[in-house]
């Protein structure tokens, strides 16, 4: 088909969203989510991989350390990554609909944007930190884009089905363990509760140089992009992306609904979600953190309950923004959200420098109570940096790079 002059002009107008076009509520929610994610990620940065899912696998779990783990699990684990997944889904709708409103077919730009994110995520995961989520998001976005024109109700129902399938899959793995080959059970048990030799090997790798880290990190990242992706991440993040698309289309994520809607929704989410999550904590401790229950059936409580808690957080943030669009909460977090990509990568740089061998080498030496101090310090630094940077520049460094690669031309940086 021959392109019309009008179509060519519209295509030439493809460009990133400008500051005046931004939806403040989304920026505030991104800022809230990117800071909250560190509450959980700090455990992966500072402790052996098994300790993230099984707190009895490494470190002290009494007193303040036990309290920190319980609070972080109940209020943070899967909650902030769920919010980020919803925001990613909303971003697909926002990006595509704005391009389409200018007469530009969004497909090619979406897939170019997504493939660049995949490459950045792979570099992040393989070269810096195995806990990367960007590559997984990019893989899911290749499919999620196909749903962006669906109705809000269809998106919410489809998202709920995908989430339910993920939880059912986790439950099924747990009840089927007695039928697994013995070598598969042994391999899973080694991950869940590693031997002293395995713990020492992981600590030595991450407190060593970059090449020593790679020997440990590469297999872990491959595992995240294969087994973990297909058994967990794809369903969880994919389902929440579809939910985010639906909520954005309903005006929920742009603070367009009534204060009553947000207040009641947040209260219901907390009232339903928190008891389910906490019940899961009690059941796992009562079970003694066995792999058969702790890794699978016991995890379903948080998988289900965290959806309600994450939605409650979203609605509460929207309520605050709606009540005071230019209030201190919005002014504090919106710049952090506008630089969420940069801040996410910066958390990796700061934490690997603190904990890995190319930096201060504190990996495996810091208990959960002390990790709280690191989290709070990074929060303060990233809030300060985001405000200072955006006073001078249009985008964060990572945002500028991603946009420039997406549109295949350098974007204006200075204000």
CB 11 within 8 A of CB 242: no
Dihedral angle sign, alpha carbons of residues 110, 111, 115, 118 = positive
30: Cβ contacts below 8 Å, ≥ 6 apart: 84, 87, 336, 337, 338, 340
Instruction: Tokens for 330, please give them.
Output: 């919005």
CA nearest neighbour of 334 among 17, 30, 89, 36: 30
Residue 326's pLDDT is what?
Answer: 86
Q: What is the pTM of this model?
A: 0.93
In a domain, residue 412? The reply is no
- What is the spatial distance between Cα 402 and Cα 116, in angstroms, rounded to a whole number? 7
pLDDT score at 20: 57
Q: Which domain holds residue 107?
A: 35-407
Residue 16 lies in a domain: no
Residue written as token pair 């303060």: 380
363's tokens: 């990996």
228 found inside a domain: yes
Alpha-carbon distances, residue 95 vs 7, 408, 413 (angstroms): 18, 16, 20
Residue 22 lies in a domain: no
Domain presence at residue 116: yes
Res 6: pLDDT: 35
Beta carbons of 337 and 27 less than 8 angstroms apart: yes
Place of tokens 């990568």: 345
Summarised one tens digit per residue, pLDDT across range 225-259 is 999 999 999 999 999 999 999 999 999 999 999 99
Asked whether the CA dihedral 47, 48, 49, 53 is positive or negative, the reply is: negative
Burial annotation 226-249 (CB, 10 A radius, 16+ → b, else e):
eeebeebbbbbbbbbbbbbbbbbb
Q: Which residues contact 112 (CB under 8 A, 6 or more apart)?
A: 405, 406, 408
> What local confidence, expressed as pLDDT, does residue 1 receive?
34
Q: Is residue 347 part of a domain?
A: yes
So what's the pLDDT on residue 248? 98
415 part of a folded domain: no
Domain count, the chain: 1
Q: Encode the chain (415 residues) as per-residue pLDDT tens digits.
A: 333 333 434 444 566 656 557 899 999 999 999 999 999 999 999 999 999 999 999 999 999 999 999 999 999 999 999 999 999 999 999 999 999 999 999 999 999 999 999 999 999 999 999 999 999 999 999 999 999 999 999 999 999 999 999 999 999 999 999 899 989 888 888 989 999 999 999 999 999 999 999 999 999 999 999 999 999 999 999 999 999 999 999 999 999 999 999 999 999 999 999 999 999 999 999 999 998 899 999 999 999 999 999 999 999 999 999 999 889 999 999 999 999 999 999 999 999 999 999 999 999 999 999 999 999 999 999 999 999 999 999 999 999 999 999 999 999 999 8
In a domain, 75, yes or no: yes
Nearest to 122 by CA among 111, 142, 136: 136
pLDDT at 7: 40
CA atoms within 13 A on the CB side of 102: 17
């Amino acid at each position: 088909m021959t392109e019309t002059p009008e179509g060519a002009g519209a295509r030439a107008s493809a460009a990133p969203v400008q500051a005046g076009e931004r939806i403040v509520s989304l920026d505030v929610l991104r800022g809230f989510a990117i800071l909250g994610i560190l509450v959980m990620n700090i455990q992966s940065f500072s402790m052996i991989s098994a300790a993230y899912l099984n707190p009895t696998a490494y470190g002290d779990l009494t007193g303040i350390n036990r309290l920190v783990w319980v609070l972080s699990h109940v209020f943070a684990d899967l909650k902030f990554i769920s919010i980020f997944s919803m925001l990613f889904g909303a971003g697909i709708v926002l990006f595509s609909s704005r391009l389409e409103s200018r007469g530009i077919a969004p497909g090619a730009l979406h897939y170019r944007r997504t493939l660049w994110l995949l490459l950045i995520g792979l570099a992040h995961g393989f070269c810096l930190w195995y806990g990367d989520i960007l590559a997984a998001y990019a893989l899911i976005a290749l499919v999620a884009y196909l749903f962006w024109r669906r109705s809000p109700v269809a998106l919410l129902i489809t998202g709920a089905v995908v989430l339910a399938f993920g939880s059912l899959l986790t439950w099924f793995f747990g009840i089927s363990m007695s039928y697994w080959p013995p070598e598969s059970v042994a391999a899973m048990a080694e991950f869940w509760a590693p031997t002293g030799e395995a713990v020492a090997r992981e600590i030595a790798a991450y407190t060593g140089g970059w090449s020593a880290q790679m020997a440990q990190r590469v297999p872990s990242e491959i595992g995240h992009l294969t087994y973990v992706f297909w058994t967990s991440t794809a369903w969880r993040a994919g389902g929440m992306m579809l939910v985010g698309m639906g909520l954005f289309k309903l005006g929920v994520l742009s603070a367009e609904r009534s204060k009553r809607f947000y207040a009641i929704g947040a209260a219901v989410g907390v009232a339903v979600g928190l008891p389910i999550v906490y019940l899961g904590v009690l059941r796992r401790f009562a079970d003694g953190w066995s792999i058969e229950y702790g890794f699978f059936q016991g995890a379903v409580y948080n998988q289900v309950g965290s959806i309600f808690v994450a939605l409650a957080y979203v609605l509460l943030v929207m309520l605050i923004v709606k009540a005071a669009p230019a209030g201190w909460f919005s002014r504090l977090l919106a710049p952090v959200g506008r630089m969420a990509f940069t801040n996410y990568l910066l958390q990796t740089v700061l934490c690997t420098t603190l904990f890995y061998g190319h930096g201060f080498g504190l990996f495996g030496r810091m208990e959960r109570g002390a990790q709280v101090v690191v989290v709070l310090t990074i929060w303060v630094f990233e809030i300060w940096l985001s405000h200072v940077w955006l006073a001078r520049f249009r985008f964060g460094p990572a945002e500028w790079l991603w946009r420039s690669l997406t549109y295949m031309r350098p974007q204006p940086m200075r204000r």
